[in-house]
A and B are shown apart, each in its own frame.
Chain A
């Protein structure tokens, strides 16, 4: 089932075109490209030769069992780790200062300070990122009934996750890397968040979501990448999987990775 070329192509007839597609900033190079990418930690190989191309304007699920290399790949894309060998490119550039401007990253663990108020963090993000839109952040906070004057310290795990996701999604980025974004969030808020993702993202932006909650996010995904033991196992569109396999991505995942 392994594809020779793990390419996720955005079919030009299917991509949504609106006025913003005439934006001069838009170019057609892939937003993320991995070429024979290896990452080795002290005594384990996390990624063993990843070849992957992800184009603009897609919502992609990065799926794989625990320890398959999902977070490592995301950290490499974000420049938190450097490749052992091979190459990873964001819009044609190696991860660095330039790419951080266009990449919005939600880590697995929170890095925000407990004593800060939500409004402090919004100011913090506003100072830090040119493309951060505070109005959008406040609007989402209101919808999810989060008081901007609350301190992170006083919040539940799920609420903290919501705040962090709101901050990340309020940047007008080209690539969003979301590592386990909705794990601790209740199902109702999950729906709201997914809806926010699909209604707010710019149609030339790409969102990569690593998650185990496949059935929850399946219908917002264009494509899925299955990763297993540091290798790409499959890249396909969700509808292609349903068409050829006659089953959902969730079911396919359970079959492929049965323990």
Chain B
């Protein structure tokens, strides 16, 4: 998974989102220790201060936590991760339904279409 940034939003916010995605998709696993700020900053080619800010903000949400001497870890609370995953899925589906509406499909038509296409793909 590579890091991508767009131009119009703060970098630390984009880092937060992408770290979150890495956690949801299991690149970083539940309860695992995160790499050091420096290593993560280098991996994403960003300023270590910016990475630090992103991680501090993620700590505030509870998704990661730090242990004074041993570093920063991903939460062991699988319910929390599932909640975030569900919320993200909901957002994506809402967005998708909106775009389908724009090209003239009702919700029912869209759902039907999804069923048909997923059958074809099997």
Interface residues of B in 6-47 (CB under 8 A from A): 7-13, 37-38, 41-42, 45-47
- Asked whether any CB of chain A lies closer than 8 Å to the CB of B92, the reply is no
Nearest opposing residue in chain A for B47, CB measure: A220
- A198-B42, A219-B47 known; A239 and B52 CB under 8 Å? no
A242-B56 contact in complex given A220-B46, A222-B49, C-beta closer than 8 Å = no
Looking at the assembled complex, report how far the CB atom of B61 sits from the nearest CB atom of chain A, in whole angstroms.
16
Q: Would you call A246 an interface residue if the criterion is a C-beta within 8 Å of the partner chain's C-beta atoms?
A: yes
Q: Which of A211-257 contact B (CB under 8 A)?
A: 219-222, 238-240, 242-243, 246-248, 250-251
Flag if B49 contacts A243 (CB, 8 Å).
Answer: no
> Which partner residue on chain A sits nearest B42 by CB separation?
A199
B interface: dominant SS:
helix
- Judge whether B42 and A239 touch: CB under 8 Å: no
Q: Which residue of A lies closest to B11 (CB)?
A: A219
Q: Are B50 and A239 in contact, CB atoms less than 8 angstroms apart?
A: yes
Smallest beta-carbon distance A64→chain B, Å: 20
Interface residues of A in 178-192 (CB under 8 A from B): 191
Q: Which residue of the partner chain, among A16, A239, A243, A248, contacts B7 with CB atoms under 8 Å? A: A248
Other-chain contact of A194, B9, B12, B45, B53 (Cβ < 8 Å): B45
B42 / chain A contacts, CB cutoff of 8 Å: 195, 198-199
Of chain A, the residue at the smallest CB distance from B46 is: A219
Does B5 sit at the interface, judged by CB under 8 A?
yes
What chain A residues lie within 8 Å of B8 (beta carbons)? 242, 246-248
Q: Which residues of B contact A15 (CB under 8 A)?
A: 49, 52
Query: How many Å from the CB of B8 to the closest CB on chain A?
Result: 5
Docked Cα-Cα span, A191 to B10, in Å, equals: 20
Are B50 and A16 in contact, CB atoms less than 8 angstroms apart? Answer: no
Please name all residues of chain A whose beta carbon is closer than 8 Å to the beta carbon of B56 when the two chains form the complex: 13-14
For chain B, the count of residues having a C-beta within 8 Å of the partner chain is 21
Chain B positions within 8 Å of A14 at CB level: 49, 52-53, 56
A247 CA to B10 CA, complexed, in Å: 9
- Shortest B2–chain A CB gap in Å is 13
Q: Please tell me if A160 contacts chain B, counting CB pairs below 8 Å.
A: no
Cα-based distance from A191 to B8 in the complex (angstroms): 21
Within 8 A of B (CB), among A3-29: 13-16
Contact B5 A219 (CB under 8 A): yes
The minimal Cβ–Cβ distance linking A210 to chain B, given in whole angstroms, is 17
In angstroms, Cα B49 to Cα A239, docked, is: 11
**Distance in Å from the Cβ of B99 to the closest Cβ of chain A?**
22
Kindly state the separation between the CA atoms of A239 and B13 in the bound complex, as whole angstroms: 9
Distance of B60 from chain A, by nearest CB (Å): 11
Contact A243 B47 (CB under 8 A): no
Least CB distance from B26 to A in Å reads 26
When distances are taken between beta carbons in the complex, the residues of chain A under 8 Å from B11 are 219, 238-239, 242
B45 touches which of A59, A198, A203, A222 (Cβ 8 Å): A198
| A30 at the binding interface (Cβ < 8 Å) | no
Q: Is the CB of B45 within 8 A of A220?
A: yes
Query: Which residues in B have their C-beta under 8 angstroms from that of A16?
Result: 37-38, 48-49, 52
By a CB distance below 8 angstroms, the chain B residues around A194 are 45
Residues of B within 8 A of A195 (CB): 42, 45
A–B Cβ pairs within 8 angstroms, 9 of them: A14-B56, A15-B52, A16-B49, A219-B47, A221-B47, A222-B50, A240-B10, A242-B11, A251-B7
Q: A15-B49, A250-B7 are in contact. List 14 more A-B contacts (CB 8 A).
A: A16-B48, A59-B47, A198-B46, A198-B48, A199-B38, A199-B41, A219-B50, A220-B47, A238-B10, A239-B13, A242-B7, A242-B10, A243-B10, A246-B9
